[in-house]
Amino acid sequence: MPRYTPEQLVKRNASVWTDIQIILAPIQFLFFIAGLTITALYANSLFITSFYWVSLAILFKTLFFALLFITGMFFEKEVFDQWVYSKEFLWEDIGSTIAAFFHLLYFFLAYLGYSRDVLVLDAFLAYFTYVVNALQYLVRIILEKLNERNLRMDGRI
């Protein structure tokens, strides 16, 4: 099911927010890979023995996640005239909200003094929800590129 009308596709392709998302998403993925690696090495007592690195990794991952979410809101407003939870991006926004919850929960649990084992588990949950959400975006991007190609072949854009 196509998400964009031909008019919205034109807006999407002309939006500076599209370019920003294209730049930031791979950087966030690198922070994810680094954070997951650091957390796994710490959890298995391999090379990383200081919990500091686990917290620093999820901090940077969370900051980039927030940056992408905020720039995504500007994109959604420009293309769909709604800041968040537009019908076209509903499931992606719900997935992002769930992932954001687990990213932020890490810091809330740390503030409350939960054990490092609990924090490591939450870090893994945050990374897992990010992966599920990112896969959802990738599937939608592929489907929309196919839709865009069909619209171009039909002369509708």
Question: What are the sequence ranges of the domains in the chain?
Answer: 6-152
Question: pLDDT tier at 1 (50, 70, 90 boundaries)?
Answer: low
pLDDT at 64 over 60: yes
- Report the pLDDT value the prediction gives residue 151, as an integer from 0 to 100: 83
Higher-confidence residue: 47 or 3? 47
Of the candidate ranges 7-11, 49-53, 122-126, 153-157, the one whose mean pLDDT is the lowest: 153-157
Please identify which residue in the block is written with the tokens 């966030």.
Answer: 28
Of the candidate ranges 23-32, 112-121, 145-154, the one whose mean pLDDT is the lowest: 145-154
- Report the pLDDT value the prediction gives residue 2, as an integer from 0 to 100: 66
DSSP result, 2-62: ----HHHHHHHHH-HHHHHHHHHHHHHHHHHHHHHHHHHHHHTTSS---HHHHHHHHHHHH
Q: The pTM is what?
A: 0.90
Q: Tens digits of per-residue pLDDT, 79-96? A: 999 999 999 889 999 999
